[in-house]
Amino acid sequence: MQLVDYPWLIKPKNHIGKNLPPALLIHGIEGIGKQVLANYLAQSTLCEKTSFISDPCGQCPSCDLFTAGTHPDFNLVTNDEEDAFSSEGTSSASKKAKQVISVKSVRSLGTFCVTKPHRGHAKVIVINPAENLNQSASNALLKNVEEPAEFLHFILIAKHKETLIPTLISRCLKLHVRPPEAPEASSWVMAKMKTQLEDPYRKQLAINLSGNAPLASLKLMENHDFFDAREKIILLLSQNPIDIFALAALCEKLEASTLQQVFYALLHDLMFSDIKENTVFHEDKKTEIRQIKRSLTTKAFSRWQGIFNDYLKSANHPLNRRLALEALFLKWPQT
Ligand SMILES: [Zn+2]
């Protein structure tokens, strides 16, 4: 792979220097390309033709193994899997990801950390998302990071570095990947789009909603379910009176992360759109925003945001999601 395909990653890459340090922490917002950069650094370090961090050759046996996902000196540690149907589930289809990296996963790295590289001179372990390391997993990892073999490199990936334990952070070279400016994100996304865009607002909206993170923008732009949900929620909220039960029934079918994205953007524009009704996330929905806003105050929406945040804390495991959503929308600001 070539980093020129991801131009905003070049600067952070240069910040690392010639060689990968024993421990690197890459942090930055969702969809900014942290895993892309980690893969690049790992492949480059393992490549048999390059001796410094630079574009891997893509042709040597090491690069072939890396691209095939079978390099014996590379290890990606990610969220644990759990059986969806308790211990009876045996097929891989019955396993789903748990939002945690357990001490068991970290301990399973034991032999990998101490045995010499199969090929060449280096081994690379990537941990993503490092914020999902629980306390005991963090402590187990710390032991490995504190006294690594000279061939071993750790790359930790996190959205917010503050979520990691301080002793672990202090062992890492920290690399903050920042998003490009909106025009750069926009042209990158346009070049990568597979389908023609029917809705002229969608691209800008996706970029704004993703905080200019190019990979997240691209993913969102092609996420028709998100735009469909947004459309329906805005339509229901712009009615007077609002059909709370229809709204709850609709939202029950959506992922909590989709709800969060739709409502955070909506609340932002309801609270902060200016006197000329310039919005950040709803340039295509100005009439509806006006209808939803009515004569309600910023304070009323801000209060509901607090209630919504409380709902989100338990959104993935409420006893009765429909009831929780109905209760939530019954508290929607009224004139
Ligand atoms: Zn190579």
- Please state the rounded mean pLDDT for residues 71-80: 94
Using CB atoms within 10 Å of the CB of residue 52, give its burial: 0 to 12 exposed, 13 to 18 middle, 19+ buried. exposed
* Helices within 79-118 (DSSP H only): 103-107, 110-114
State pLDDT tens for residues 140-194: 999 999 988 999 999 999 999 999 999 999 999 999 999 999 999 999 998 888 7
What is the DSSP secondary structure assignment for residue 88, as one 8-state letter?
A: G
What are the residues whose beta carbons fall under 8 Å from the beta carbon of 15, sequence distance 6 or more? 175
Query: Are 271 and 296 a contacting pair, CB within 8 Å?
Result: no
Q: Residue 315, Cα to own-chain centre: how many angstroms?
A: 18
What pLDDT sits at residue 90?
45
Ligand 1: distance of its center to the CA of 70 in Å?
14
Residue 152 and residue 201: Cα distance in Å, rounded? Answer: 47
Ligand 1: distance of its center to the CA of 133 in Å?
31
Structure tokens that stand for 146 in this block: 């504190």
Ligand 1: distance of its center to the CA of 58 in Å?
5
Ligand 1: distance of its center to the CA of 1 in Å?
10
What are the residues whose beta carbons fall under 8 Å from the beta carbon of 294, sequence distance 6 or more? 240, 335
Residue 270 and residue 290: Cα distance in Å, rounded? Answer: 8
Ligand 1: distance of its center to the CA of 55 in Å?
9
- Judged against a pLDDT cut of 50, whether residue 51 lies above it is answered with yes
Residue 166 and residue 150: Cα distance in Å, rounded? Answer: 23
pTM: 0.85
Residue 266 and residue 234: Cα distance in Å, rounded? Answer: 8
Alpha-carbon separation of residue 295 from 30, 105, 117, 308 (angstroms): 35, 54, 67, 21
Asked whether the CA dihedral 38, 193, 70, 75 is positive or negative, the reply is: positive
DSSP codes of every residue in 200-224: HHHHHHHHHHTTT-HHHHHHHHT-H
DSSP codes of every residue in 268-309: HHHHH--TT---SS-TT-HHHHHHHHTT--HHHHHHHHHHHH
- Please state the rounded mean pLDDT for residues 28-54: 95
Ligand 1: distance of its center to the CA of 184 in Å?
30
- Judged against a pLDDT cut of 90, whether residue 84 lies above it is answered with no
Ligand 1: distance of its center to the CA of 17 in Å?
19
